[in-house]
Amino acid sequence: TDDFDSGTLVDECELDENGSLVDDSCIVSATYAFDQNATVDTYIFWVIRTHNGTETMWNHSIIVHKDVHEEEGPSPGDCFGIGCPTDDTNDDNAEVVDESESPAVVMLALISLVGMIALTLSILKEQKEKSTEKTYLEEE
């Protein structure tokens, strides 16, 4: 038959000092990958749990639908989504946004310019005060 048996799954497996499994038959999860050409159908599966000598069984089903795409999409095996390189040259309708012209950047630049001018004037004023000879009333 085409039945899939995950084997006995446990909460955790013992590891040695290198991080390798002590018992190679110990597994905590199982994955079943449907064939890319899987038949449209309803597939039944069971979850059987044995705990403290008591066995519980749950029946579940997975429905495989026909893969229909009205719009152009990626071909099978193509990378798409987060973590895949993007190709922005195909976006004819994409608007080019220049971040250097956004209102926040312009405002930040103006505030920075005013701050630089104020700092420069303050330094020049302080230097001018140091260079002029000061006279005090007691010296006269």
Same domain assignment for residues 50 and 105: no
Percent of the chain surpassing pLDDT 90: 23
Task: Tally the domains of the chain.
Answer: 2
Q: Please provide residue 48's backbone torsions phi and psi, each rounded to the nearest 5 degrees.
A: -115, 125
Q: What is the pLDDT of residue 77?
A: 78
- Whether 137 is covered by a domain: the verdict is no
Q: What pLDDT shows up at residue 72?
A: 78
Work out the average pLDDT over 2-17.
Answer: 86
Instruction: Give CA separation, 133 vs 123, 138, 139, in Å.
Output: 18, 15, 13
End residue of a domain, out of 13, 47, 67: 67
C-alpha 76, offset from chain centre: 23
Q: Do residues 59 and 106 share a domain?
A: no
Domain final position from 43, 67, 91:
67
Task: Inform me whether the pLDDT recorded for 13 exceeds 80.
Answer: yes
Whether residue 58 contacts residue 47, with contact meaning beta carbons closer than 8 Å, is answered with yes
Mean pLDDT for all residues in the chain: 82
Q: What are phi and psi of 70, to 5 degrees?
A: -80, -35
pLDDT digits (tens, 9 = 90+) for 21-34: 999 889 999 888 88
Q: 40: domain range?
A: 1-67
How does pLDDT run across 59-114, given as a tens digit for each residue? 999 998 887 777 777 777 788 778 787 765 555 555 555 666 788 888 999 999 99
Same domain, 114 and 60: no
Residue 72 lies in a domain: no
Name the β-bridge partners of 15. 21
